[in-house]
Structures are given as C-alpha cells and as structure tokens.
C-alpha cells in the first residue's frame, strides 16, 4: 500500500524469515535461468534485524533452513543493542546468539561499534566472501544514541523523545538544522541513488537483451513467470474425473498439481514433513539442496511457520508461484505468516489436508473443528473446501490466477466423483442439484458433506419434498459475487435451509437464517475410524434428512 515498501515485516521475526525465501528464490532462479556469461539473476538479500526478531521462534525455524540450504547470499545485520520494550534483554534473553547461529551453519561476525561504518563495510565484504553459508553480523549498537537521558534504555524503544529531549540530542550530536528539514547536501547524496539505479537497470536490461537473443525460449519463460500470469483458461488444462469413481481430494489435488507443474515451471513448494500425506511432491523433479538449487520440491521439515514465511519470500521475489502444505489443524502454527500473505496480496497456495473428523484415528489433537471458521474470517484469503476431485481441479485453476492467497481444505477419506459444471468453483457456490419448480428446502454443504446431501435429497424427494442442493466450496468467493447471482442460488423466498459441514457451526447461520438449521460440530472430536466418527457425529444422509423433516 505504501510506495517503496515491498515487504511487510511488522510482526517480529517475519523479516528474517521472509528474507530466507527471497534468498532461496534468487538461488533457484539463478540455477534455472542463468547461463555461462549470462547472469541475469544475481543479487544479495540483506536484513536488518533486532533482538526481538531473533527471539521469535519463526526466525529460528527459518534460520535453521537457511543453514541447511547454504544460502550464501543472505546477509543479516543484527542490531545487537541489548534492549527490548520491557528493559534489558538479559531479563529473558541470555543465550549465545552467535553460538546458536554457528550451530545453524551460518558464518558469524561481530562489529563492536555500531558507529564504525568502515568496520561494518568490511564485515559485509567478509560475508560476501563466504559463499557457502548465510551470514549473521552482530553489530553492537546503543539504542537512542546521542540522547542524553534515554540513550541505552528501553525508553528509547517505544516512546518519542519529545521536543525538549530532541533538542538536547541535536545539541549533543552537533545537528543544527530545524526540525522536519533535510540539509541540501544530504538530499543531494541520497538522490545520487536515482542515477545509480537508472544506470544499474540499464546495464541489466542490456545483459537481458543479449540473453534473450541467445536463449529466446528461456527469456520468454522467465518474463512470463516474472509477470505472475498464466496464459489461457487453466480450467481447460485440468484433468476430469468420471462420475462413478472416487478418491480423497488430497490425492486428486496431487494429480492436478503434477499436471500443472508440467505446464508452469514457476510452481515450487513442498510440505512441512508431510509430503506423503499432503500429496505435494512433484514427480521426476529434484528437491532443492545446497548442492543443487534447480529443483522445485522443497523439504521444509517440521517448521510450519517458517514454511509459510519462506513462501511469502518466494512470492515477493517474483518469478515463482509457491505452494506449501500441512494438515489443516496446523494452520494455526503458520497463521501469522498466512495473515501477511493476505495483507500483502501474495498469492501463495496453502494446501491443508485431513480436513475434518473424517481423518479418523489421530483423534482430537489432529481433527480441525474451528480452523475453517477462523481461516474464513481472514480478509483477502479464499478458503476452498472441494466436494470432490472435479471441484478440486477447478479450485487449482482458480488458485493459479488468484492475486491473493488461497487455502485448500482437502479430505483424507475417499469421496465420490461428481458432475461439476465448468466454472462453478470460481463463483464460490452454485446449484449442484435442483428440484422441479421452487424448492421446499435447500441443503447447503461443503467438502465431504456434499455427497451426503445429494443422497439425503433422494430420500426427501421420495417423501414428496422438492429439494435443492447447493455446494459452497468457498464462502469467501461466493460472498463476492453479485447479489443477483447469490439470490439465484439461495433465494430469499426459500427459508427452510440446512447447512452441513463437519466443523464449527459459527458462520453458517448467515446462510440458513432464523428458519434454518446447521448440522456441524461445536466440540472436540474422538479417536476412531473416520467413517465411524462421521456416523457417530451425525454426518449421514439419514440424519441430514431428519434435520430437514423437522424444518419442513
């Protein structure tokens, strides 16, 4: 939203962690596109971080990954001033930070005086010389330097100096210009960056033009990826799944992902140590390592939060379309970075599998109850819970062209393939099965509960009732549709409605109204076979029909 501010790092630790993604993007794109004599991708990634950043767990996760990947062009300048808002860092932070980063396989240095510009410059050059490890430079600084009363104290952290103290600081530092002014020589010095930038961009453009003449196909691929655009109707590229078959939507997602990966070399990502369950490994594609950055599969390890932050960096760099994956319940572990994806309009794809009590025996610790509701509350995030393989394919088509992040909620258990009209998911909700004439009742569902509602419709029709089944894979997308379309799907005149979802009921009442009912779960789950749990918690066609009969 602010010109010149390209990355939002307000929550502590996100800057360091996002930068790991930026540095990984540089390494991968360089390995993918650079050719001998043609270095079109070649830059360093710099971070200025504080004590608070390095206290946060996400920075530890991401720094560990940076060491695993040997990101030699990542340089962190650690403002080591030993002060946080609550006072001296030693009240809660006494570890050997450099020792910790040594253990992460980083190159570490210390600059004892933060005002020694030459020493800082020399340290940066030494960091550049270490090509096989990321670098941490601890710069010992004094917070509020030059302020007679607050220098070196926590007061300089979160409070303004005030007019009197500001004047005393200026006098102490020999600053003689009025407030809210910048001296001409300072302006002139900074504006030299504009000319340097023009020259640097011009030189790069000349290099790229020469590259494009010699490698036209690679240059076109690079430019297309950099724009972040996909040509044509992606839905036409999607596989279709014939009615009569069945599969878990996580498995269908994996198949679709591999089809897309062949068409879109900018797709890159992985899982937080659950690739075999999330179905996110690209076939016949190498994994990224410090010895080979050209792969597009990524091992993130058990680091959900850092995984999402790294994905933000991959996206922000440009030229890549990142996806990440874990179980839906662990969306809470990465939520701060996902929130920043939405805040920054970064179209990261989040693949969340094992989406309900239907996952079975792992029990309540792994069964998401309120997670879908919480994710749907986040602005600028489209949450899609597909009913079958064909809705899953359409969800991927939507995500590939989305300008904001998209989260999939996918099933562990098999679901029957349905006849899904083209373009349904991009509307968020649609009429999947209708009645003759105005319906007496509307059944609304998402994900694995849609097919249950279709069976309940048959039962109710046998009783003589007219029933419409509406699939709403994404309430976020549906709510953005024109009012006339939403009215055509959920007409106000039909007040008897039942919403069915194996999750928290909060959020569904706005669709069913005062005369409707919601079949959901507002308690923790249990440990048992997934099909048995679905029956025990009432997610059967018979129980849905009974809910409907009570309304009718």
Map residue 320 onto helix, strand or coil. coil
Burial class (CB in 10 A: 0-12, 13-18, 19+), 514: exposed
**Element (DSSP H or E) covering residue 118:** helix 117-129
A 10 A CB-CB count for 75 gives 22
Q: Output Rg (C-alpha) for the chain, integer angstroms.
A: 27
Per-residue tokens: 130: 């270490």
How many Cα atoms are found within 13 Å in the side-chain-facing hemisphere of 385? 26
- Nearest CA to 17 out of 262, 209, 288, 305 is that of 305
Indicate the DSSP class of residue 282: P
Please, what is the end-to-end C-alpha distance for the chain in angstroms?
50
Tokens at residue 18, please?
Answer: 């996002």
Instruction: Look at residues 400, 404, 410, 417 and name the one whose alpha carbon lies nearest to residue 477.
Output: 404
**β-strand 246-248 against 414-416: which pairing, if any?**
antiparallel
- Catalytic: 242? no
The sign of the torsion formed by the CA atoms of 62, 67, 68, 73 equals: positive
> Is the CB of residue 70 less than 8 Å from the CB of residue 133?
yes
Evaluate the CA torsion angle 309, 310, 314, 316 in order and state its sign.
Answer: positive
Q: Nearest 5°: phi and psi at 272?
A: -85, 70
CA 182 to chain centre: 40
b/e 272-303 (16+ beta carbons within 10 angstroms → b): bbbbebbbbbbeebeebeeeebebbbbbbbeb
The answer to whether residues 308 and 277 touch, using CB atoms and an 8 Å cutoff, is: no
Alpha-carbon distance of 198 to 187, in angstroms, equals 18
Spatial separation of the C-alpha atoms in residues 81 and 48, rounded to whole Å = 13
Distances (CA, A) of 477 to 226, 341, 446: 26, 17, 13
Q: The tokens of 315 are what?
A: 């996206």
**DSSP H helical ranges for 215-264:** 216-227, 249-263
The catalytic residue among 26, 61, 165, 304 is 304
Range 344-361 burial, b when 16+ CB lie within 10 A, else e: bebbbbbbbbbbbbbbbe
- The strands making up 497-500's β-sheet, listed across from edge to edge, are 430-433, 467-471, 441-445, 497-500, 517-519
Q: Where in the sequence numbering do the catalytic residues fall? A: 304
């Amino acid at each position: 939203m602010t010109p010149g501010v390209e990355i939002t790092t307000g929550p502590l630790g996100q800057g360091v962690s996002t930068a790991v993604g930026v540095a990984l993007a540089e390494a991968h794109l360089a390995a993918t596109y650079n050719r001998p004599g043609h270095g079109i991708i070649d830059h360093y990634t710099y971070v200025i971080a504080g004590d608070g950043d390095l206290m946060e767990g996400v920075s530890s996760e991401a720094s560990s990954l940076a060491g695993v990947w040997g990101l030699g062009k990542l340089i962190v300048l650690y403002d080591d001033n030993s002060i946080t808002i609550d006072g001296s860092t030693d009240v809660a932070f006494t570890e050997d930070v450099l020792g910790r980063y040594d253990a992460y396989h980083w190159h570490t240095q210390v600059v004892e005086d933060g005002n020694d510009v030459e020493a800082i410059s020399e340290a940066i050059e030494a960091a550049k010389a270490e090509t096989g490890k990321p670098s941490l430079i601890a710069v010992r600084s004094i917070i509020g330097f030059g302020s007679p009363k607050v220098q070196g104290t926590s007061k300089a952290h979160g409070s303004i100096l005030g007019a009197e103290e500001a004047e005393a600081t200026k006098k102490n530092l020999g600053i003689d210009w009025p407030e809210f002014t910048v001296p001409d020589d300072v302006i002139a010095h900074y504006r030299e960056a504009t000319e340097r930038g023009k020259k640097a961009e011009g030189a790069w453009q000349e290099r790229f033009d020469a590259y494009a003449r010699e490698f036209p196909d690679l240059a076109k691929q690079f430019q297309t990826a950099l724009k972040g655009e996909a040509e044509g109707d992606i839905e036409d590229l999607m596989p279709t799944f014939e009615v009569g078959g069945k599969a878990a939507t996580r498995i269908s997602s994996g198949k679709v992902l591999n089809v897309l990966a062949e068409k879109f070399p900018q797709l890159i990502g992985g899982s937080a140590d659950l690739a075999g369950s999330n179905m996110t490994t690209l076939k016949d594609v190498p994994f990224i390592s410090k010895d080979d950055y050209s792969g597009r599969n990524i091992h993130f390890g058990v680091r959900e939060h850092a995984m999402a932050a790294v994905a933000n960096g991959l996206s922000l760099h440009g030229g890549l379309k990142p996806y990440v994956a874990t179980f839906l319940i662990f969306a809470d572990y990465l939520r701060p970075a996902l929130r920043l994806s939405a805040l920054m309009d970064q179209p990261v794809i989040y693949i969340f599998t094992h989406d309900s009590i239907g996952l079975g025996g792992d029990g309540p610790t792994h069964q998401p109850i309120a997670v879908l509701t919480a994710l749907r509350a986040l602005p600028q995030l489209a949450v899609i819970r597909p009913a079958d393989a064909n809705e899953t394919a359409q969800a991927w088509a939507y995500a590939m062209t989305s300008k904001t992040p998209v989260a999939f909620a996918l099933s562990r258990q098999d679901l029957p393939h349905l006849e899904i009209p083209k373009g349904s998911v991009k509307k968020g909700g649609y009429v999947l099965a209708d009645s003759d004439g105005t319906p007496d009742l509307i059944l609304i569902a998402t994900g694995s509960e849609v097919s249950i509602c279709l069976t309940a419709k048959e039962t109710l029709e046998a009783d003589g009732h007219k029933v419409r089944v509406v699939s709403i894979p994404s309430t976020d997308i549906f709510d953005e549709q024109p009012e006339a379309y939403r009215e055509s799907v959920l007409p106000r005149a039909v007040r008897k409605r039942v919403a069915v979802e194996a999750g928290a009921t909060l959020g569904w009442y706005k669709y069913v109204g005062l005369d409707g009912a919601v079949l959901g779960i507002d308690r923790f789950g249990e440990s048992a076979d997934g099909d048995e749990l679905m029956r025990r918690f009432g997610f059967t066609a018979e129980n849905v029909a009974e809910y409907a009969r009570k309304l009718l």
